[in-house]
Chain A
């Protein structure tokens, strides 16, 4: 475990030196801040627009950071050939992947905290710093944990560009997997419905982590629902990281 944590700490240090991180963080804070100007164009709904834009920026830029940094982590080690020095040491490949993953999750968590502080400072200025928004931010972190796991999985067996495209595709599919139910309802019983059913359970359902509309409109979200979403997210991410470890174990670095 110490080795995994050491790799995680090193990954964190490496990630916070990445200029892409600061670029995306800067854009996110700019987008959050710009909501105050955008809200000048409205009649009513000023608070709603600031909250919607802030929560969306936190989610969107978090996902972009997870993809852009996540897909390059493993590849960099292979490209710089530093992977050879790591795999020759008594460090398991699974520990390496897990360490990389945890390091990136740490980076994204810090990133999310910075964005949330920026968001709440703006809300405090507007007199709307509601605590009810925090569960939505928390579930955004769960969403990022799953997206990071997807990025690590794809980067464990493919190139950064392909991994980025696959992760982005999986993210979009994850946002739409609920619609498989709609398709299923329109199909006659048989193989088509079974295929829909299969993919509905296998594909990530990122919709489960989206309670942004509810918290914006102060619609109560039962804590049990949030808790189950956390369980679902952690279990799904663990599954993806496990598969990533299996893929990486079989990878030939020659």
Chain B
């Protein structure tokens, strides 16, 4: 090929490349304000996409998941929270029902960003139904119910479900035990914490569990003694002279000592029962 011809061909290639880049740059500027991720909204249900994927449904689920991550990584989308269930349950969740991370991601977007805990729990409930052996979904559901809804009973149910799954993180049992305390059922909470303490496999968990057992024991005893003091006052018209009078009156069987072996304190002038030992946990 002659040098002149080569120059013409080279010039033509550069010109074509330049034209393409110029058109691309203008299109990018024109389309920059558009809802580019909005196409996610128009994806058909995963059941139909599964047919069209010709055996590569998990791969298609991955690609849509990656697409969704980029979409939700940009915070100026108008419809971002309206289509969460569609993207993560109807599309990805149908393409690959065992895709736990998709359910988890959908619930995180709804609970943390959209502040819609009930919707987050709906996604997690569907995820749990399809992945009954994955502990992370009930664990997350327990946290949403506990932290955002303050629905301790519901949270306890999720943590119970989580703890029953083989391989679940041991912290689920601790959360489960603590939910009863938050519900006001200290006896059950104490029993659960005692179980955690007795079966703990490391010093950290044993120490944490002991702190709860220690404090709950004191709270339960003080509450029981305080209730007996009030009954005594109702029956006798005055506070008992000492806690031993409660035993003599048959209101309690014996005087309990706290987990550190100390007896409980009592002020006959105010009728107030207390503990010599300090609580181990800061929140009390």
Q: Do A49 and B62 touch (CB < 8 A)?
A: yes
Within 8 A of A (CB), among B1-59: 51, 54-59
List residues of chain A with CB within 8 A of the CB of B99. Answer: 45, 48
Q: Is B254's CB within 8 Å of the partner chain A? A: no
> Cβ of B96: which chain A residues have Cβ within 8 Å of it?
213
Q: Which residue of A lies closest to B96 (CB)?
A: A213
**Is B256 part of the binding interface, using a Cβ–Cβ cutoff of 8 Å?**
no
Q: Is A85 an interface residue (CB 8 A)?
A: no
Q: Are B69 and A42 in contact (CB under 8 A)?
A: yes
Query: CB-CB < 8 A to B62: which residues of A?
Result: 45, 48-49, 52-53
Please tell me if B98 contacts chain A, counting CB pairs below 8 Å.
Answer: yes
Known: A48-B101, A213-B96, A217-B98. A42 touches B66 (CB 8 A): yes
> Distance in Å from the Cβ of B195 to the closest Cβ of chain A?
30
Q: At the interface, yes or no: B105 with Cβ under 8 Å from chain A? A: yes
A108 to chain B, nearest CB (A): 17
Contact A175-B57, Cβ < 8 Å, known A44-B104, A45-B65: no
| Segment touching B, from A14-22, A123-131, A195-203, A204-212 | A204-212
Q: Is B70 an interface residue (CB 8 A)?
A: yes
Distance to closest chain B CB from A104 (angstroms) = 21
Contact check, B69 vs A43: say whether CB atoms are below 8 A apart: yes
Interface SS of chain B: helix
**Whole-angstrom distance from the CB of A62 to the nearest CB of chain B?**
12
- Whether A213 and B57, one on each chain, are in contact in the complex, defined by CB atoms closer than 8 angstroms, is yes
On whether the beta carbons of A49 and B66 are closer than 8 Å, the reply is yes
Q: How many A-B residue pairs have CB under 8 A?
A: 53
User: Is A56's CB within 8 Å of the partner chain B?
Assistant: yes
Given contacts A38-B66, A44-B101, contact A175 B55 (CB under 8 A): yes
Q: Known contacts A56-B56, A60-B56, A206-B55; decide if A213 and B104 are in contact (CB<8 Å).
A: no
CB of A216 within 8 Å of the partner chain: yes
| Most chain B CB inside 10 Å of its own CB: which residue of A38, A45, A60, A219 | A45
Q: Which of B129-169 contact A (CB under 8 A)?
A: none
Query: How far in angstroms is the closest Cβ of chain B from A51?
Result: 9
Question: Which residues of A come within 8 Å of B, CB atoms?
Answer: 38, 41-45, 48-49, 52-53, 56, 59-60, 172, 175-176, 179, 206-207, 210, 212-213, 216-217, 219
Can you list 13 A-B contacts (CB < 8 A)? A38-B66, A42-B69, A43-B69, A43-B105, A48-B58, A52-B61, A52-B62, A53-B59, A59-B56, A60-B56, A175-B54, A175-B55, A213-B96
Q: Which 4 residue pairs are nearest across A and B when measured between Cβ atoms?
A: A217-B98, A44-B101, A175-B54, A45-B101
- Given A45-B99, A48-B62, A179-B51; 20 other pairs, CB 8 A cutoff: A41-B69, A41-B70, A42-B66, A43-B105, A44-B101, A44-B105, A45-B62, A49-B66, A52-B59, A52-B61, A52-B62, A53-B62, A56-B56, A59-B55, A60-B56, A175-B55, A206-B55, A213-B57, A213-B96, A217-B98
